[in-house]
Amino acid sequence: MEIELNRFTPAEQATFRLRALYEQAGYRKYRASRFEEYALYQEYQRFLPDAQVITFTDLDGKLRAIKPDVTLSIAKTAQPAAGECKRFYYNEEVCRPSRESHTFQTIHQMGLESMGAVDADEQAAVVRLALQSLAALDVPTVLEISHMGYLTGLLDALHVPAEARAKLLDFLRVKNAHELRTAALAAGLDESAAAALTGLLDLHGPLGATLTAARAACRCETQRAALEELQALQNALGEAGRGTRLDLSMADEMEYYNGLVFTGYVAGIPCAVLKGGRYDYLMQRFTPGANAIGFAIYLDELERLAAPLPPVQQQGREKSWLNIALPKGRLGDKAYKLLAGAGYSATEDYNDTRKLVVENPDACVRYFLVKPSDVAIYVEHGAADIGIVGKDILTESGADVYELLDTGMGKCRMCVAGPEDFYDDPNKTLRVATKFPHIAGEYYESRSRDIDIIKLNGSIELAPILGLSDVIVDIVETGKTLLENHLAPLETIVDISARFICNKVSYKFKHQEVLRMRDALEKNL
């Protein structure tokens, strides 16, 4: 009897199709234990997405963990012989902490691993299976690839100090060109080297054309070798690779992957649904001389495909619209004026209506008016494609978005402030009052300073006046309020201004529209 797949959820349908695909390709199902000895994750902590795992003492007295990862377990047990290539697929649940809910969550993954004698043909076969996996979803998809060798080769060629690399990579991950350049210069690089780093952000687009541009920007043999490998991959994929894109600024999970990396996106899902790449260094910790490549698909995310589009986004579906989250208030008014001046005005003044959504069908833009602290949330979760948000809110929320432009609007500083005669006694825990506990915590952690954070929602300046705190961490614009209350800025944590941000998936599917808007705004600043 033939199974009617349309009776199942999108994730269930994908499971049936992917299982058939992987078994036809010669992959054998791997059944993982729900628990693993904690020592495994302790030893290979840097290869995990998050170091936090749930542990317990088993009846035999051993410390075990609910598995946060499948690949480590397979790599430990595979043990391929010299010249042998072992192929596994899996359908498992892992347990990882959630950044948003601050609790552990169960994540349903399906993926495959190829371990041992992984040559260029095997690598191409795995990427082809990744493309086929996305195609099996029957919705528009994009597979982006990169090669860690191109990025690491550039960092080495530019002699980027080891201590500066983490910060530079963070700016690359979020495509923050303005702060990437500043950080590069602060690290001692000259203008040419800083330009080479920011130039990585332009190496994004169709595989063939981007390879050509990347060759022109090469500075060392390591980069050339990476591009040769990518060219060989393109040749091997042939027609199957049509539509594959290259993004040489991809810098995620560099501890894990060492060569080819790739990420898959699905239209309508605001985050990556497939991640994979080469992890030879990890594999060789278990089996010397062996290589490995694999990928995982996040099945839980596919359930979003069953949900209908909200009514407001069902209008004008024949065109590619940009949905824009604007903050209510003074900053939103300035942001709208900037956007309207760049040719993106709405057909009605949102200040003269009680509507929360205004649009312009001719310009294919739609504005959502939201609370300033919610802008980044709307963008991260894909309810809006782009937004304008203060750097303070963006940093505090930790939203996983691209930061494409510093508009320069709303300039101010995030400062530590306190009494004018304040003395920081290192022998005492510092009491810090703030609306920004994440920013304050990160700042003092970088200084190895013990603090006690007191979360407040307003009138932060009162805290040291009334003895509730020693200092405050807050936004300082003119410093007048501090001065009138006998307080003073003591240290500047970060400069603040409004940033133009973009959802990561929107950047893949509406790339030209987003860049066109960004460039138009930049010209009008």
Q: Which position has the token pair 């691993």?
A: 113
According to DSSP, the β-strands at 204-206 and 245-247 are antiparallel
Looking at residue 1, its pLDDT comes to 43
Pairing, β 487-496 against β 322-327 = unpaired
Local structure of residue 410 (DSSP, 8 states): T
Identical fold for domains 1-139+287-307 and 311-408+498-524, yes or no, is: no
The predicted structure's pLDDT at residue 12: 84
pLDDT of residue 318: 62
What topology does CATH give the domain 1-139+287-307? Answer: BirA Bifunctional Protein; domain 2 (3.30.930)
Neighbours of 352 (CB within 10 A): 8
One-letter amino acid at 395 equals T
Q: What is the DSSP string of 147-205?
A: EHHHHHHHHHHTT--HHHHHHHHHHHHTT-HHHHHHHHHHTT--HHHHHHHHHGGG-EE
Per CATH, which fold does 412-495 belong to?
D-Maltodextrin-Binding Protein; domain 2 (3.40.190)
Q: What is the pLDDT of residue 4?
A: 67
State how far Cα 70 lies from the chain centre: 21
pLDDT, averaged across the chain: 91
Q: What is the pLDDT of residue 39?
A: 87
What residue has token string 């347990």?
A: 95
Q: Where are the domains of the chain?
A: 1-139+287-307, 311-408+498-524, 412-495
Give pLDDT, residue 313.
66
Residue-level pLDDT at 159: 95
Q: How far apart are CA 179 and CA 142, in angstroms?
A: 28
For the stretch 361-384, what's the b/e string if a residue is b when 16 or more beta carbons lie within 10 angstroms of its beta carbon? eebbbbbbbbebebbbbbbbebbb
CATH level 2 (architecture), domain 311-408+498-524: 3-Layer(aba) Sandwich (3.40)
Backbone angles phi, psi at 486, to 5 degrees: 60, 35
pLDDT mean for each 10 residues of the chain (525 residues): 68 89 95 87 82 86 89 92 95 85 86 95 96 91 95 95 93 94 94 95 93 94 96 93 92 82 93 94 94 95 78 65 92 92 87 81 90 94 95 93 95 93 91 95 93 92 93 91 91 94 95 94 90
